[in-house]
Structure 1
Amino acid sequence: MAIIKRTAGRPTREQAQHIDDIILTGAREAFCCRGIEGTSMEEIALSVGVSKHTIYRRYAGKMALLDAVVNRDLERLSRAVLDVASDPDPLERLHLAARRFFFFCVEPESIRFMAFLTSEAVFSDELRQRFATWDRIISDPLISCMRDAQDAGELRTDETPLSLFNLLTDMLDGPSRRMQFALPDPFGGLTPDAFFEHRWSVFLKVATAG
């Protein structure tokens, strides 16, 4: 864990962003290790080398801090998905966006964090409600790609973009669920790349127009 070195004076914008990143990384690690109830703001502050006041000045409490941790991950995913927007073929944009979505979801740190969130949500109505908001943020870029491919006549239009999104993501979800429980061979004997391309080809057989 990186420790913030204190300097005199008001931090620059870059320094403030660095402090935010260090705090969120420390909070993410603490939440994964000890859960929300088992983690204190004091512990997070001590682990990253800032004062508790520095954290509270940015985040009102642990749920606000958790929101910020999740939103940082979602922003990273959104940037990766939206980075394919320059491809002129809507179906290829969807292919590239879905690929980046899949590989984000099977990153070890993503698996670990999702396992923490899922276990916490079992006992928290508030967290389950937040999941609905986070799910929309995750879904919107890919649903937009689905809609563009439909408008271009490359995907069937008798299904909604949301329905097609659910079809594709349900097909891609197996490895991440198996990895959460450390089950063997999460990709069914394939490489992650081959697994994605196989599922994509099956999706096209079902979802392409005509």
Structure 2
Amino acid sequence: MPSSKVRVREAVAAPVPARGGRPTKKAAEELGHRILATAARLFSTQGFAATTMEQVATACGAGKDTIYRRYPSKAALFTALMDQLRASVVAEIDAALEPESAPLDRLKSYARRLLAINLRQDMLALNRVALAEAVPSGGVRAPAGEDDPFMVRFAHLVAAAQAEGELATGDALFIADQLLYATSIKPMIRAMLGDESFAETSAQDRYFEQAWSLVLAGVARS
């Protein structure tokens, strides 16, 4: 029979079981990514109205209660998905910009890459759902310019070009908004409607260069 001293040592050395099956931080992050990836696929293929929280839970292998703890409504889930998408796009473009290039060149590169990304099939599908269903339903709110990572970064690059005297002074966010509409919105809307005129990179380049030159030069005679 072991002595009391041995029993104490054994008790101290015994492993402490994990509490209540709480997921690790890594597991929780992976689940979050899986939920949003599943939601993106279902919203893109089925639309906003036809997609349910129960479908998302089943498709990603999570409990319905787990989904609702993170996102109290379908609108909240869709908003989180679009927020993540915007943040990832900004990070992707920033990683591709040349940090040593002139501010106006960085601004132009940002705008051109944003056009290409806006014409991707996954972006077109989700923007189509947002504009046709999610926002009109009243449950999803389109972010204001100052809250939109796309536009905040765009405005920052405009301001940097202004500081170097490469652009006229003025509200940087307003100028960024006009640049976005001139260089991206028309091709994106046409593509969302099924027009394939901008499917080729060469067509995108032609349109972008014309729009960019027009905005920077203006249309009035001096």
TMscore range, shorter length: 0.7 to 0.9
- Asked whether the equivalents of residues 175 and 187 of structure 1 are also in contact (C-alpha less than 8 Å), the reply is no
Within the alignment, does 1:139 sit opposite 2:146 as a pair?
Answer: no
- Asked whether the equivalents of residues 145 and 173 of structure 2 are also in contact (C-alpha less than 8 Å), the reply is no
Q: 1:14 to 1:99 in 2, by over 3 A?
A: farther
Moved more, 137-146 or 55-64: 55-64
Sequence identity, in percent? 27
**Counterpart in 2 of 1:5?**
none
**Counterpart in 1 of 2:104?**
91
- Matched positions, count: 198
Give the SS at the match of 1:46. helix
**Counterpart in 2 of 1:51?**
63
Moved more, 39-48 or 162-171: 162-171
Q: 1:11 to 1:98 in 2, by over 3 A?
A: same
Distance 2:145 2:66 in 1: 26
Q: Kindly provide the amino acid, as one letter, of the partner of residue 23 in structure 2.
A: P
- Report 1:172-183 matches (<5 A): 172=183, 173-183=185-195
Q: Indicate which of 25, 48, 56 corresponds to 1:36.
A: 48
Distance 2:103 2:196 in 1: 36
Q: Kindly provide the amino acid, as one letter, of the partner of residue 168 in structure 1.
A: L
Within the alignment, does 1:22 sit opposite 2:34 as a pair?
Answer: yes
Q: Kindly provide the amino acid, as one letter, of the partner of residue 123 in structure 2.
A: S
**Counterpart in 2 of 1:106?**
119
- Asked whether the equivalents of residues 146 and 165 of structure 1 are also in contact (C-alpha less than 8 Å), the reply is yes
- Report 1:151-190 matches (<5 A): 151-157=163-169, 159-172=170-183, 173-186=185-198, 190=202
Q: Kindly provide the amino acid, as one letter, of the partner of residue 142 in structure 2.
A: F
Give the SS at the match of 2:218. helix
Structure-1-length-normalised TM-score:
0.81
Q: Please tell me whether Structure 1 or Structure 2 has the larger radius of gyration of its CA atoms.
A: 2
Q: 1:184 to 1:98 in 2, by over 3 A?
A: closer
Q: CA deviation at 1:92?
A: 1.4
Gaps of 5+ in 2: 1-19
Moved more, 74-83 or 180-189: 180-189
- Asked whether the equivalents of residues 42 and 52 of structure 1 are also in contact (C-alpha less than 8 Å), the reply is yes
Distance 1:191 1:88 in 2: 25
- Asked whether the equivalents of residues 110 and 154 of structure 2 are also in contact (C-alpha less than 8 Å), the reply is yes
Q: 1:93 to 1:189 in 2, by over 3 A?
A: closer
Distance 2:201 2:79 in 1: 36
Q: Kindly provide the amino acid, as one letter, of the partner of residue 63 in structure 1.
A: A
**Counterpart in 1 of 2:218?**
206
Moved more, 102-111 or 194-203: 194-203
Q: 1:124 to 1:190 in 2, by over 3 A?
A: same
- Asked whether the equivalents of residues 93 and 113 of structure 2 are also in contact (C-alpha less than 8 Å), the reply is yes
- Asked whether the equivalents of residues 81 and 141 of structure 1 are also in contact (C-alpha less than 8 Å), the reply is no
Q: CA deviation at 1:69?
A: 0.4
- Asked whether the equivalents of residues 152 and 173 of structure 2 are also in contact (C-alpha less than 8 Å), the reply is no
Q: Kindly provide the amino acid, as one letter, of the partner of residue 170 in structure 1.
A: Y
Moved more, 80-89 or 62-71: 80-89
- Asked whether the equivalents of residues 149 and 155 of structure 1 are also in contact (C-alpha less than 8 Å), the reply is yes
